[in-house]
Structure 1
Amino acid sequence: MKKWVLSVAITVTLIGCTSSPQRANSNLPTGMVLLENVKQQQANIPYKKYQLANGLTVILHTDHSDPLVHVDVTYHVGSSREFAGRSGFAHLFEHMMFQGSQHVADEQHFKVITEAGGTLNGTTNTDRTNYFETVPSNQLEKMLWLESDRMGFFLPALTQEKFEVQRATVKNERAQRIDNRPYGRLNERFNQALYPQGHPYSWPVIGWPDDLERATLADVKHFFQRWYGPNNATLTIGGDFDEAQALAWVNQYFGEIPAGPKVSATPKVPVTLDKTRYLSMEDKIHLPLIYMGYPTVYAGHPDEAPLDLLAEIIGGGKTSLFYKNMVKEGVAVQASVSHPCQELACQFTLYALANPSQGGQLGKLETKINQSVAEFEQRGVTDEDLQKAKVQFKANTIYGMQSVKGKVSTLAANQTFYNNPNQTVKNLAQYDSVTKADVMRVFNTYIKDKPMVVMSVVPEGQKQLIAKVDNFVAPKPKVAEHAVDMEVSSKQTTSSFDRTIMPKAGATPVVKVPQLWRTTLSNGIKVIGTQSKETPTVELVIYLNGGHRLESVSQSGLANLTAAMLHESSQTRSSEAIANALEMLGSSINFGSQGSQSYIQVSSLSANLTQTLAILNEQLFTPAFNEQDFNRLKQQQLQSLQQSASDPNYIASTKFSQLLYGDASPYGVPSSGTLETVSALTLKDVKDFYQRQYRAGSAQIVAVSDLTQTQITTALDGLTKWQGDANAITPLMASKSAPSKVIYLYDKPGAAQSVISIGRKALPFDADGEYFKADLMNYPLGGAFNSRINLNLREDKGYTYGARSGFSGGDEVGRYTARASVRTDVTGASVKEFMKELQQFQSHGMTEKELDFMRNSISQAHALDYETPYQKAGFLRLLQRHQLTDNFIDTQQDIIDNITLAQLNQLAKKWLDIDKMIIFVVGDKKLVKQQLETLGYPVRIVN
């Protein structure tokens, strides 16, 4: 089901207590008015809404449960505010506004927040751009200083050099996320056909490359002045803070920024098609894909809710008609329906990935899709359809309130698009009131016999697989004569105080490490848990020692296939009946496998835990292991492997592991298996592995819930009948890496970028030994955004969208890896820069400033570690898996505080020797081989 905008309730109590606007309040800073005070009730996020004289909307949501704050600044500008032929400006500004402002130095934004122990990012879509950071609560004033400076004082720091670097970064992002990714260009091609030429959704958010090349510094300055004023922005603050103090800071830092030009709403013009449009595209893929779509309404339209439910009923999971008619029959590997909505328009989309073993003809899939839609029309909507969808909506609502970030993002989006932070209350009522007749009405209005867009994406050279011959060619994008729609002022903002002085942080907040409880079930299964009262939910994970390590190398992929089989039919019910039961509860059960463990993840509303665990027991103890299910899942796994082989990043990951550990080691073969190993697997292999892996003696449980220890252990009583000793895992044999001082090249013809991996075998995980200390050593080199490697390759050179390095360690082995996707034309230069940074850091180590930065950043980040149930569960699992003491964080902090520069630099000398590292590149041989040969190492081609 489409992820609706989430509110924070499951009942249908609709109104909080809202006060009238207070335009005269002596307790408020001058010029600030209180517009709303929405208190906590069962169907809302409590907040207070203010407005400054310059038009800035301010929303405050207090939550004192964790010592952190989340700050979000949302500007009502996305790609829809651009002109045809001048695309990509909004996304470009997402990058530009991290590059410093008049009183904040270059790269300082990332450094300040990272050193404060926070996280940050920005995102752009068709209709808005937002910037956000989560930091310890004592850092709030500093965040407001940073955000206000780039709102009011950005242009004086904007230079041609910064513009060119970020333009190159955006090009790299496009190459990495679109051009070098399977199906990456699907959406932009599809939207050209769905929307008329010149419609603001007819061009991609990231922009057309030619438009970015055409842009000038003057263009982007005008774009900023037009759209990034306080009257087109919403500042939302959530978390642990004092409201009066926060308002005073907001007024100080934002109040004197002048309003920008008046902003009017973009008209919502209905989108229509005169006939069904067919188009196709060849791509570097294995699985042919058909993607169909109808134009519908717009976000917030009364018909949005029933259209969402319609999409869920036709193609929303194992209980849908799409799954039954295509995935279950094996003609498709995946198939789904959704109804994504944007501010100006929504689209009803249907897609399926064809199974090449069944021919892969997209024309057949189009027929199957149309037959499924016709079957829906004949069958109609059932009471169960509606009830199931509404239960899921209410469950998703509760899961969405597990973090302050989630609540702040919801408030900000609702204010931006509906001028109502409390919009989710209205949404909840709308979805709850949808009737069967409503669903059939919107089907007849927007879908039945209506023209649509049908796009085929096929492997290169296989045009015979397309659904129908193309009858649509996208018109060449128009070039706008100008980049702004009005004259804007060139006057610079002045400040009444010295903004060059960065505010000091307040007193360091007390980190609230979860209070733990432990117990052992009567059959010996150890359980560790904590109570989290913020949401009435349960996150339960059962871990089983084994996973990929329990299977032989020749049977790689068996653990994954066995876990997939446990999602299927039981001895008493079909997989569809089980899925239906879980959906009616708003619960999910996920079986999976990783390198050294299999797992079972259970998410449930607390009130439904007993029924959810009854379904788990059915799946776990009485699987049917049907031959038909096995054949279908095996075929899906094989097709997935072949599809992955077209992804340069998958190739880089799997082939690099093979070079490090060899193909005779389980760590040198992917846990998903290979075509050879998965092809040889039988149903008997699955049954045998199930008996070996899914034993009580190998199991441990982590639980995070608002329920008490007694309530959880009582609910787990059904698992006490689980028996079996711990499984025996074959000891790991010694493995030999491929020779170093060689550059290994995997030829990927036509690759839009090269993927570079440089590294070596390293240390297994430890919490307070050499592995932990080595990770501290690497932090300023490649562990943060403003690390040496990323600043060099991304910010200084413009070679990549991002570059990182780091240690990763498991129970038995570990590795050190430096990695980036880079422009093809600078592949050799990028490897050279990697080598230079590693060699310099090994020779000279980190500086005293870098040591201070590492200490501050990692120490203060603990305030963010335990907020959500998922984070708490991860912390508990770390304790349980590695048998750590409850206060191991204190031990780590002592190391961080006292480790010396000499000790860290000695670790750099030991682990960063480039002559002991493997250099591996995935790229187009004819374009990069010669570049690599200039580096002085032999270049060896690998298959």
Structure 2
Amino acid sequence: MKYKSVLTAAVLAAAFGVVAPADSWARPAAKGAPALAPLPDVNIPYTKFVLPNGLTVIVHEDRKAPIVAVNVWYHVGSKDEPQGRTGFAHLFEHLMFNGSENADEDWFKALEQVGATDLNGTTNTDRTNYFQNVPTAALDQVLWLEADRMGRLLGAVTQAKLDEQRGVVQNEKREGDNEPYAVAWDLITTNTYRQDHPYGHTVIGSMEDLDAAKLEDVHAWFKKYYGPANATLVLAGDISPAEARKKVEAYFGDLPSGPPVPRQTAWPAKRTGEQRATAQDRVPQPRLYKVWNVPEAGAADTDYLALLSDVLASDKSARLYERFVLKEQTATSVSAYVSEGELGSTFGIVVTVKPGGDIDAVEKAVDAELAKLLKEGPTEAELARIKTSRVDGFIRGVERIGGFGGKSDLLAQSQVFHGSPDAWKQSLNRYRGASVADLKAAGNRWLTDGVFSLQITPFTARETGSAAAPPRPAVGQIAAPVFDSYQRAKLTNGVDVVFARRTAVPTIDLTLIMPTTSSSRTGLAGMTLDMMDEGTATRDTIAISREQTELGAQISTTGGMLYNYASLSALAPRLEPSLDLFVDILRNPAFREADIDRLKKLRIASLKQSRQQPNAMANRVLFPRVYGVDHPYGRLITEQTIDALNRDALTAYHQQWIKPQGATLVVVGDTTLEQILPLLEKRFGTWTAAPPPARAEIPPAAPKPGVYLIDKPGAVQSVLTAAFPMAPRVEAEQPATEVMNNTFGGAFVSRLNMNLREDKHWSYGAFSFVNGSIGPRAFVASTSVQTDKTGPSLVEMKKEFADIVGSRPVTASELAKSQDDLVRSLPGFWETASAVSSSLGQIVTLGLPADHFTTYPKRVRDVTAAEATAAARKAIHPDQAVWVIVGDRAKIEKEVRAAGLGSVTVVDADGNPVP
């Protein structure tokens, strides 16, 4: 469960449905170049009806997969909280997951058993929503569950549950507060809105108000805001409107409406003058925030300001990024956004200044750039480019029926905030018709006065009652998951092609998978691949970024230990020019010295940031201790290894490993194999090179068990991570390993999470996973807990490890739950083209049989409880654990040593022993 208070520009673009008609926004051709095809049209047909009790229901039929998105929005958020009860809306959201009168069990337990995916709930200033994608056969039961908690919740809410979820939420708050720069959001909230404004406090609230929440507050809140008349239900997916109406009337029709809810009208709270604040935090770099209050979501100026934010910082060719990160290199990151709200929105600029940089000088330059933009407006080319970018983001977002930014989310948001499921079209029309003058005028109305400026600088001081419920429906026969059929082909130069057709959205995803081997120079593969889209023989960094945005293409290159990946996601009508750009990046990287120097500085800055981020600190120490400091999987990237990289090394690596021999192209999207093969042959088939060297054998791990404690002064939580070396993957044993992990910590309703989060409420979440795929692996379990529960949490983790390999092996019920979760969730995981591409990539990189995903469900179902327990005993050896603990040493060291985990060594964020 998450609280959402600030949305990025990318999320907002998806949320507000930037769609272009088929005949619009074709970019004029450069002289001598062919015109780009028009952007594709996208529509979201729907049926809307309202029950007599006021429940608004929206249905969108999408038969591409046997799943249905169930998305319930309640029109209540933190803005509705009474004084002294900040954070209550979010706390109540958590309580809604703890069972209702006729289903008094954890929501995740019920939903994971039926294979739900995209399962969560969120709260922001204006609404609370609950969502999940479920197999069609489970829809009746999920609707019954949603109706039961909408109409029959209070009888199941006890003081014990309130205390439990209060603890969970407080640990969620601590987890957020433990992150670098976290202090900024409280300061921005309290300085941009007065205390009497509905937005004058954070969504998650204060610790004191959370402590003050009483059971009678829960009852009053539920009765006031959680009736059907204040709710919108969206069903999207494998269902017709007629089927939906019949089911919804059966399960929700008898619920009482609830009282009328008063609504606050728009209140943008525009400020005058300049307000400033400074703060220190344990961060390696200064950061600048500039924030203005602007109109509410749906206002014309808000849409124009969203486009204006893209002009400033949407890609590498955007004004702030190009100046401060690329050219002057005075910053390592920049962003600009509009965070939209029902009553008012905020326009923000965030600049992370380079280590040791002059934040005052950067702020002065940012002000100058903004003033210039407001005086002159954007260029026509800039405006055309950002329009394309927003259309592209929307097209990709609406491939999904559920989750953040999916179709059900968009329909619900449009209805709840604007009164119609297709209200997003109003913003669309403004984007389509926006002119340079529109953006300039909106900017001058809202961004020339009333700024709040915040500077965060490094802290360097030394320290020491309703109608009876109908019977709970059984889950129907859930259809066996069916993986996409796919075809294979081969280009004339030997490149293998794996193709699957997907037509839900007009996009085509390509991934070129190239085998490699570990490099003796740490970070060489990653740096080489990162540099490839920084410039080619004929294009520089800005040109590549600009062209991607104009095309609506997304290109990424990623260097790995065993495989390198180059990916293109293109709009189908613009595939050919997108392919041309992709191939140029692959084959002709320039590796310019200036770009190498700039990227090295950015990587060093990112490295310094990671030494302040608790989970990153833990990982930097963990894996060198699990595999060995000289092992390919354990080598540590440092300033020295980054500095050692040079143009000769990058060029040599590219010539040696970025080549078609041994490579595979995975293609998924809206085309056919017959259509795309000639296009691939033209661009890849003529690419020849000498075969790559043989891959070096991966050595076994050389672990160093023990306890490694990293001091993070002032931390309000401790990160606890334990890892155990594992043998390489054996395919016949893999299903048992996955069932075991799901039982132990791989699902919400797993032993570790239920212990530390739900039973003890010491943590916001605890989880486990298997790290690595080829060669030696590791079983890893991790959590963040409140500082004063560090010792007891370590004891509980130690107990859970001992139990599953000893006195409490995997039970029959746990086995069945994990099998259901792993198998029934597959259709939801395979909903998008990118997910199918990822699964096909696994077949390639792991050398799996062609029918691996077809036979996978049966192999999981065939696992026995004894086999799952045996998998645990192969993975977990308590006496061989590597423990890494990050927290306030002064407060936790004594209890860490008393936990009986082994010898304790205090180390820095690079694993070096310290006194």
Does the aligned pair in 2 maintain the 1:115–1:856 contact within 8 Å?
Answer: yes
Distance 1:734 1:897 in 2: 32
Amino acid at match of 2:68: V
Shift of the alpha carbon at 1:12? 6.4
Question: Match of 1:396?
Answer: 393
Partner of 1:608: 574
Q: Secondary structure at the match of 1:646?
A: coil
- For residues 85-105 of structure 1, what are the alpha-carbon distances to aligned partners after superposition, in whole Å with 9 as ceiling and x for unaligned? 321011101111000111112
Q: How does 1:134-283 map to 2 (within 5 A)?
A: 134-176=133-175, 178-283=176-281
Report if aligned partners of 1:763, 1:771 keep a CA contact under 8 Å in 2. no
Q: Quickly say closer, same or farther: Cα 1:587–1:703, change in 2 above 3 A.
A: same
Contact 1:334 1:353 in 2 (8 A): yes
8 A contact 1:609–1:715 mirrored in 2 = no
SS in 2 for 1:511: coil
1:590 and 2:587 aligned: no
SS at match of 1:308: helix
Change (3 A) 1:443 1:244: closer
Determine the structure 2 residue equivalent to 1:437.
Answer: 437
In the alignment, the residues of structure 1 paired with residue 541 and residue 643 of structure 2 have an alpha-carbon distance, to the nearest angstrom, of 24
The partner residue of 1:640 within 590, 595, 606 is 606
What letter corresponds to residue 114 of structure 1 in structure 2?
E
Q: Which residues of 2 match residues 465-544 of structure 1 at below 5 A?
A: 492-495=465-468, 497=469, 499=470, 501-544=471-514
Residue-by-residue CA offset, 1:731-776 (whole Å, 9 max, x unaligned): 223331113xx3321222222211111121113344x422332221
Deviation at 1:682, TM superposition (A): 1.8
- Are 1:10 and 2:10 counterparts? no
Give distance in 2, aligned partners of 1:197 and 1:564: 46
Query: 1:463-514: per-residue Cα shift (whole Å, max 9, x none)?
Result: 9xxxxxxxxxxxxxxxxxxxxxxxxxxxx1131x5x4x43112232253321
| Alpha carbons 1:698, 1:727 under 8 Å: kept | no
Q: Which residue of 2 aligns with 1:802?
A: 765
| Equivalent AA in structure 2 for residue 878 of structure 1 | Q
Hey, what does 2:349 align to over in structure 1?
350
Q: Does 1:821 align with 2:747?
A: no
Residues 368-389 of structure 1, C-alpha deviations (whole Å, 9 max, x = no match): 1012123324543322122112
Alpha carbons of 1:103 and 1:728: their partners in 2 closer, same or farther (altered >3 Å)? same
Indicate how the Cα distance of structure 1 residues 260 and 290 shifts in structure 2: closer, same or farther if over 3 A, else same.
same
* 1:764 maps to which of 702, 715, 728: 728
Partner amino acid, structure 1, of 2:325: V
Deviations 1:83-129 (A, max 9, x none): 3432101110111100011111232x211110111132101111111
**CA-to-partner distance for each residue in 1:699-755, whole Å, 9 max, x for gaps?**
22111111111222222221223222124333223331113xx33212222222111
Instruction: Quote the Cα distance in structure 2 between the aligned partners of 1:695 and 1:13.
Output: 39
**Alignment match, 1:466:** none
**Deviation (angstroms), 1:7:** 3.4
SS of 1:269's equivalent? coil
Pairwise CA distance, 1:535: 1.0
Residue 656 (structure 1) aligned with residue 622 (structure 2)? yes
CA distance in 2, matches of 1:680, 1:803: 38
On the 8 A contact 1:13/1:43 being kept in 2, the answer is: no
Report the alpha carbon displacement of residue 888 of structure 1 after superposing the two structures with TM.
1.8
CA pair 517-266 structure 1, distance change in 2 beyond 3 A: same
Give me the whole-angstrom Cα distance separating, in 1, the residues matched to 2:89 and 2:798.
35
SS in structure 1 at match of 2:460: coil
Residue ranges of structure 2 left out of the alignment (5+ in a row): 1-8, 25-39, 909-915
Q: 1:309 aligns with which of 307, 310, 333?
A: 307
Question: Aligned with 1:508: secondary structure?
Answer: coil
Q: How big is the shift at 1:352?
A: 0.9
Higher mean C-alpha displacement, 583-592 vs 144-153: 583-592
How far apart, CA to CA, are the structure 2 residues paired with 1:43 and 1:620?
31
Structure 1 segment 275-294 matched on structure 2, within 5 A: 275-294=273-292
Q: Note if contact 1:764-1:813 (Cα within 8 Å) is conserved in structure 2.
A: yes
**Counterpart check, 1:940 vs 2:905:** yes
> Residue 568 of structure 1: CA displacement?
1.4
Tell me how far 1:576 sits from its aligned partner: 1.1
Alignment deviations for residues 254-289 of structure 1 (CA, whole Å, 9 cap, x no partner): 111111111232221231223211111211111110
CA distance in 2, matches of 1:408, 1:180: 33
Q: CA deviation at 1:890?
A: 4.1
**What SS does structure 2 have at the residue aligned with 1:218?**
helix
Distance 1:569 1:135 in 2: 44
Q: Is the 8 A contact 1:118 1:861 kept in 2?
A: yes
Aligned pairs for 1:554-569 within 5 A: 555-569=521-535
User: After the TM superposition, which residues 726-745 of structure 1 pair with which residues of structure 2 at under 5 Å, given as runs?
Assistant: 726-739=692-705, 742-745=706-709
RMSD value, Cα: 1.9
Match of residue 550 from structure 1: 518
Give the CA deviation at 1:462: 7.8
- Deviation by residue 1:282-336 (Cα, 9 ceiling, x = unmatched): 1111111001011111100011222122111223222222122211211011122
Q: In the aligned structure 2, how far is the partner of 1:12 from the partner of 1:125?
A: 35
* AA at the equivalent of 2:247: W
Q: Assess if the C-alpha contact under 8 Å between 1:325 and 1:372 holds in 2.
A: no
Distance in 1 of aligned mates of 2:300 and 2:51: 32
Contact kept? 1:540, 1:704, Cα under 8 Å: yes
Q: Which amino acid in the other structure matches residue 420 of structure 2?
A: N
8 Å CA contact retained: 1:764, 1:811 = yes
Instruction: Give the letter for the 1:838 counterpart.
Output: F
| Distance in 1 between residues matched to 2:793 and 2:434, nearest whole Å | 56
Structure 1 counterpart of 2:3 = none
1:83 paired with 2:49, answer no
The two structures have a TM-score, normalised by structure 2, of 0.92
Residue 680, structure 1, aligned to residue 653, structure 2: no
Other-structure match for 1:753: 717
Equivalent residues in 2 for 1:56-67 (5 A)?
A: 56-67=55-66
Match status 1:921 vs 2:894: no
Q: Secondary structure at the match of 1:339?
A: strand
Q: Which runs of 5+ in 1 are unaligned?
A: 15-40, 464-491
Q: In the superposition, relative to structure 1, how do residues 294 and 6 fare at CA in structure 2: closer, same or farther (>3 Å)?
A: closer
Match of 1:21 in 2: none
TM-score (norm 1): 0.90
Equivalent pair of 1:67/1:240 in contact (CA under 8 Å)? yes
C-alpha separation in 1, matches of 2:854 and 2:384: 49
The percentage of counterpart residues that share the same residue type is: 33
Question: What is the rounded CA distance, in whole Å, between the counterparts of 2:306 and 2:861 in structure 1?
Answer: 53
Give, as a single letter, the amino acid of the residue that structure 2 aligns with 1:813: P
1:98 aligns with 2:97: yes
Give the equivalent residue in structure 2 for 1:888: 852
2:298 counterpart SS class? coil
String of CA shifts for 1:796-842, please: whole Å, max 9, x gaps: 11111111123233111211111111111111111111111121111
The residue matched to 2:339 in structure 1 has which SS?
Answer: coil
CA distance in 2: counterparts of 1:462 and 1:316, whole angstroms:
36
Q: Deviations over 1:908-940 (max 9, x none)?
A: 333333112222211122111111222233322
| Counterparts of residues 824-839 of structure 1 (less than 5 Å) | 824-839=787-802
**Aligned partners of 1:608, 1:353: CA distance in 2, in Å?**
35
Residues of 1 paired with 2:354 and 2:481: CA distance? 51
| DSSP-derived class of the 2:317 partner | coil
Among residues 694, 716, 722, which one is paired with 2:687 in the alignment? 722
| SS of match in other structure, 2:417 | helix
Q: Distance between the aligned counterparts of 2:16 and 2:649, measured in 1?
A: 43
Aligned equivalents of 2:128, 2:65: Cα separation in 1: 27
Structure 2: how far apart are the matches of 1:213 and 1:931? Answer: 26
Structure 1 position 9, deviation (Å): 4.5
Distance in 1 of aligned mates of 2:736 and 2:221: 46
